[in-house]
Amino acid sequence: MITLSKIAKVFNTKDGEVKAVDNIDLTIDKGEIFGVIGYSGAGKSTLIRLLNMLEAPTSGTVEVAGKSMHTLSRQKLRAARQEIGMIFQHFNLLWSRTVAENIAFPLEIKGVSKTEQKERVNELIKLVGLEGRGGSYPSQLSGGQKQRVGIARALANNPQVLLCDEATSALDPKTTDSILDLLVDINKKLGLTIVLITHEMHVIRKICHRVAVMESGKIVEQGDVLDIFRRPKQEMTKEFVKQVTEPEETEEALKHLLDKEGIGHVLQLTFVGGDTQRPLITDIVRKFDVNISILQGKISQTQHGSYGSLFISLSGEEKLITDVVDYIKSQQVEVEVIHSA
């Protein structure tokens, strides 16, 4: 569906050249939700704008839905962009237009008849859960409702691709989750390919099938979300994964526990998929003469299954501790000793 080959974007500034996107190769499959994550300045916003040619590449090629975007004339590019919807962090709505009029705007530009416009707008208002708000103005809507208008407008021309530029960054956590649920629903109902950029791993974890991690204009790591959670390789990726698996409150709680005397050996167990349902702790208690305490634990859902992280304390004979660690590994559960007694 989307293929980037040796794509680069260089900006000329007073301070010299800035390479925002640096020689990236990337393929995104039809119908998948693909995430691009990175901190500010990583180049992710520039990358997503290259997909619909809001930014022209300095070098390399961009193909979307079988079209070589970088070679199209202005007229053909305008037509190609109708197959690529985009939603933004700050909604970009027309404040003097109602919800229905905002959604209809792309259809007006395309020259669709008033009757067809009304029919399509009603379909989209229902799809995004805004029944009864078609006559409202953006100033009368909550942040989540504004973003739903933005999504409906982006879908007006039946695009094949939806680009999301930090689409939930301005929203509170509960509203963010509702918008992410809507995007998953749209992806399943319409078979739409969704590309989103974010700096929040929670967003990636919740809805993406695959993810690319960007740093200094380059993709430093990419893969299936569950694999990235299970075995992050780069330090940048590990930082993002910790946002979900070891949030700040977990880290503080563990530091407090590790300062206590008699805490024993502290192990971090990582469960993936069906492993999260297994009675591993019960099995250890039955098989080994050790004392075991659960310190902290969390299970998160991804599009490909569950991911769990559990911190336990073990005390007992040194040989038995080693045997327990070996047993955990034999059960295909990853384990790391993060503190020794």
DSSP E strands in 70-217: the ranges are 84-88, 161-165, 193-198, 210-215
Same domain, 62 and 203: yes
Identify the CATH number of the domain in which residue 293 sits.
3.30.70.260
Q: Give the range among 6-15, 115-124, 302-311 with minimum mean pLDDT.
A: 302-311
Last residue of a domain, which of 244, 268, 294?
A: 244
Q: Does the pLDDT at position 286 exceed 70?
A: yes
Identify the CATH number of the domain in which residue 211 sits.
3.40.50.300
> Once rounded to an integer, what is the mean pLDDT over residues 158-171?
92
At position 221, the amino acid (one-letter code) is: E
Total number of domains in the chain: 2
Query: What confidence score (pLDDT) does residue 208 get?
Result: 94
Q: Does the pLDDT at position 32 exceed 60?
A: yes
Q: 223-282 pLDDT, tens per residue?
A: 999 888 878 899 999 888 877 766 555 556 566 666 665 677 888 888 776 665 668 888
Q: Does the pLDDT at position 86 exceed 60?
A: yes
Q: What is the pTM of this model?
A: 0.81
> Once rounded to an integer, what is the mean pLDDT over residues 71-82?
90
Residues in Cβ contact with 260 at an 8 Å cutoff, skipping those fewer than 6 apart: none
Domain that holds residue 283: 257-339
Q: 204-213 pLDDT, tens per residue?
A: 988 999 999 9
State the chain's mean pLDDT as an integer.
89
Q: Does the pLDDT at position 312 exceed 60?
A: yes
- The answer as to whether 249 is a domain residue is no
CB 133 within 8 Å of CB 143: no
Burial class, 255, CB count within 10 angstroms (exposed 0-12 / middle 13-18 / buried 19+): exposed
C-alpha triplet 192, 196, 201: angle, nearest 5°: 125
CB 104 within 8 Å of CB 156: yes
- The answer as to whether 237 is a domain residue is yes
Same domain, 213 and 284: no
Q: Tell me how far apart the alpha carbons of residues 2 and 127 are, in angstroms, rounded to a whole number.
A: 26
